[in-house]
Chain A
Amino acid sequence: MEKLLEVKDLAVSFQTYFGEVEAVRGVSFHVNKGETVALVGESGCGKSVTANSIMQLLPMPPAFYKRGQILFEGEDIVKKSEKEMQKIRGNKISMIFQDPMTSLNPTMRIGKQIVEGLIKHQKLSAKEAEKKAIEMLDLVSVPQPEKRIKQYPHEFSGGMRQRVMIALAMVSNPKLLIADEPTTALDVTVQAQILDLMKGIQEKLGTSIILITHDLGVVADMCDRVIVMYAGQLMEEGTVYEIFKNPKHPYTRKLLGSVPRLDMSRSEMLHSIEGTPPDLYRPPKGCPFYDRCDEAMIICKDHMPQKEYHTDTHYSCCWLNHPMAAGVAEGSEI
């Protein structure tokens, strides 16, 4: 399996009026060709910042790359200039965003918006561009594409707009697609359609996808591997099967436990995780999940846990999995 993207110890911070906020605190993962990797976590855990930094889309003051590398096809993106990045964006790596209602320019026609990047990257003529736009709308199952390319975003529904976004992102057949919560703002039925669409496109074009979401149902449906993020750090990583069947991190377990299921009994309470994630302005020294973890140990407070590998592909960062923790029963109370 060839590595398409490799992130090594990435740390990204924001300089604010009261100090430095460490949004991403040392994250390492990779994406292989043709696979779909889920980046899972609560709001504010740093997953969007990570995604945006792959595309160098963060506003550079106040954000800055504190350390680390992002290797795409062997080259370090962090070191690339804006002009070099422009050749990559919309060309080799594309991104789709969460809110389709605000992600499209309200004063520009849809057709133009779809092929705008392509025209620049491949120097198409107007006719070729129009043809391509129709082709893409067709690919994402938007009916009457010839008529639709001349229309404006407000003439499309939310689901349709997201399809347009996908068309826009896929038009140059990128190697990597980063989808930042693509279905969060959509109705459930539309969600399923969009996901199916993405799956179909992936099969057809062999694109690698990083799917950012906080919805584990989506993950199970589409992804090959899962990365769990919390407070700017990775808590656990593994294949979908490993994560769902054998979660090794208390946070992952809680996340899985909080997904409501149709086969739950009526009287069963919904499980939620109490509390809120820590403020990354003065991040905790130890495990960031310490304050909300039912299984926390004394060592967890001040010491950052290391990666413990369970299989070749599955690791977790938790003291419970450290050899010295043997004997402390899982899920037990004081």
Chain B
Amino acid sequence: MAKYILKRLAMAIVTIWAVITVTFILMHSVPGDPFANESKKIPEAVYQNLLREYGLDKPYSQQYMMYLKNIARFNFGQSMKSNTETVNEMIARGFPVSATLGIQAILIALIFGPALGAIAALYQNKTPDYIAMIISIIGVSVPSFVMGSFLIQFVARNVEWIPIGGWGEWRHVLLPSLALATMPLAQFARLMRSSMLEVLGQDYIKTAKSKGISRAAVIMKHAVRNAILPIVSILGTTISNLVAGSFVIEKIFGIPGLGMFFTTSVFNRDYTLIMGVTVFYALVLVVMMLAVDIAYTLIDPRIRLTKEGR
């Protein structure tokens, strides 16, 4: 098992390196240079200074090595558009906000999604199944930004104590995390349903029943325990997609998180910020996915014990 972890770790490092490199190449292939869009004409000397300051006057390969070195020290550089903060500081400001939002959303999805799916499977082709499946289909089809907009429109405007946007108290997290959670919740529900159906047809469920234990015990200890495994395996990609959804949700709800920084930096063409946030995101995601992979091997005893000697 240790071998497996090491392999995944190596892959993770390679992936991060790939992201850094790709990001670097892309950012430096933008036609023109970052200061070309400034409306005011900059005197030549100042221009040269700026270039030197950002290291843009050196050849690419050198810039690349410098960048790599900086990243290794977790220095993401200076923002091009903001004079007051470094990229690091901005990330430090925005990340906790986004993380809170993300964790909330995932928790909602993880708790209610599989529950919905399990119920659907147990009452297959009867009313609860249809209702659950319609909810999930809608959840999967309605993009998070649509859900967010609708929630603002029909809930926030009509309910006093639910704010329309902003951040600060727990009330602010409600709607955005709900909007963010609908898609993964629906995905989990659908996956859980088919996983449960498959598990319920397995022989060991029959064995469990033949022992005379209660139906609840059969469902919880035998069916759910096995059916939930596939959900853990897609947890990684789900989190990755969640990040994508967060960009938009943060914009709609005016939440000062990393997603909003990213969106704004994209809009403003603030290249160091874009690079920094991208690499940071990639880091976080790759680490998350590695963690999920490892968690999966720990949860499924078949994988956990393969390498152990007996």
A/B contact in complex, CB under 8 angstroms: yes
Contact A120 B212 (CB under 8 A): yes
Contacting A at CB under 8 A, from B272-310, are 300-302, 305, 310
- Mask, B205-218, CB within 8 Å of A = 1, is 01111111111010
Question: Which one of B75-83, B139-147, B158-166, B221-229 contacts A?
Answer: B221-229
The reply on B48 being an interface residue by CB < 8 A is no
- Tell me which residues across on chain B come within 8 A of A102, comparing CB atoms: 202-204
> How many residues belonging to B are interface residues under a CB distance threshold of 8 Å?
24
Instruction: Please measure, in the bound complex, the distance between the C-alpha atom of A107 and the C-alpha atom of B217, giving whole angstroms.
Output: 14
Instruction: Please measure, in the bound complex, the distance between the C-alpha atom of A165 and the C-alpha atom of B215, giving whole angstroms.
Output: 20
Q: Contacts A82-B215, A155-B310 given: A107-B210 contact, CB under 8 Å?
A: no
- Tell me which residues across on chain A come within 8 A of B229, comparing CB atoms: 107
Contact A108 B221 (CB under 8 A): yes
- Tell me which residues across on chain A come within 8 A of B214, comparing CB atoms: 86, 120
Contact B204 A55 (CB under 8 A): no
Contact A107 B226 (CB under 8 A): yes
- Tell me which residues across on chain A come within 8 A of B225, comparing CB atoms: 105, 107-108
Contacting B at CB under 8 A, from A79-94, are 82, 85-91, 94
Q: Contacts A97-B206, A103-B203 given: A154-B301 contact, CB under 8 Å?
A: yes
Contact B211 A90 (CB under 8 A): yes
The reply on A234 being an interface residue by CB < 8 A is no
Shortest Cβ distance from B219 into chain A, in angstroms?
13
Contact A168 B207 (CB under 8 A): yes
Contact B212 A104 (CB under 8 A): no
Instruction: Please measure, in the bound complex, the distance between the C-alpha atom of A103 and the C-alpha atom of B221, giving whole angstroms.
Output: 15
Instruction: Please measure, in the bound complex, the distance between the C-alpha atom of A105 and the C-alpha atom of B204, giving whole angstroms.
Output: 5
> How many residues belonging to A are interface residues under a CB distance threshold of 8 Å?
31
Instruction: Please measure, in the bound complex, the distance between the C-alpha atom of A87 and the C-alpha atom of B212, giving whole angstroms.
Output: 6
Contact B210 A94 (CB under 8 A): yes
Contact A86 B226 (CB under 8 A): no
Instruction: Please measure, in the bound complex, the distance between the C-alpha atom of A94 and the C-alpha atom of B207, giving whole angstroms.
Output: 10
Contact B209 A89 (CB under 8 A): yes
Interface of B is mostly: helix
Shortest Cβ distance from A158 into chain B, in angstroms?
13
Shortest Cβ distance from B304 into chain A, in angstroms?
9
The reply on A6 being an interface residue by CB < 8 A is no
Which of B209, B217, B302 has a CB less than 8 Å from the CB of A106?
B302
Instruction: Please measure, in the bound complex, the distance between the C-alpha atom of A291 and the C-alpha atom of B210, giving whole angstroms.
Output: 37
- Tell me which residues across on chain A come within 8 A of B300, comparing CB atoms: 107
Shortest Cβ distance from A2 into chain B, in angstroms?
23
Contact B207 A97 (CB under 8 A): yes
The reply on A9 being an interface residue by CB < 8 A is no
Contact B305 A117 (CB under 8 A): no
Instruction: Please measure, in the bound complex, the distance between the C-alpha atom of A104 and the C-alpha atom of B217, giving whole angstroms.
Output: 15
Shortest Cβ distance from A163 into chain B, in angstroms?
14
Q: Contacts A99-B203, A102-B203, A108-B221 given: A90-B212 contact, CB under 8 Å?
A: yes
Q: Contacts A57-B206, A152-B302, A168-B207 given: A106-B226 contact, CB under 8 Å?
A: yes
Instruction: Please measure, in the bound complex, the distance between the C-alpha atom of A165 and the C-alpha atom of B211, giving whole angstroms.
Output: 11
Shortest Cβ distance from A116 into chain B, in angstroms?
6
Contact B305 A152 (CB under 8 A): yes
Shortest Cβ distance from B171 into chain A, in angstroms?
40
- Tell me which residues across on chain B come within 8 A of A108, comparing CB atoms: 221-222, 225
Most buried by A among B204, B210, B310: B210
What residue of chain A has the Cβ atom nearest to residue B214's Cβ?
A: A86
Shortest Cβ distance from A98 into chain B, in angstroms?
8
* 21 A-B interface contacts by CB (under 8 A): A57-B206, A57-B210, A87-B212, A89-B211, A94-B210, A103-B203, A103-B207, A104-B204, A105-B221, A105-B226, A107-B300, A108-B221, A108-B222, A116-B213, A117-B211, A120-B212, A120-B213, A120-B214, A120-B217, A154-B302, A155-B310
Q: List residues of chain A with CB under 8 Å of any chain B CB.
A: 55, 57, 82, 85-91, 94-95, 97, 99, 102-108, 116-117, 120-121, 152, 154-155, 165, 168-169
Closest 6 CB pairs of A and B: A117-B211, A90-B211, A89-B212, A90-B212, A102-B203, A152-B301
Other A-B contacts than A99-B203, A107-B301, A154-B302, 14 sampled, CB-CB below 8 A, are A82-B215, A88-B212, A89-B211, A90-B211, A90-B213, A95-B210, A103-B203, A104-B204, A108-B221, A116-B217, A120-B213, A155-B305, A155-B310, A168-B207
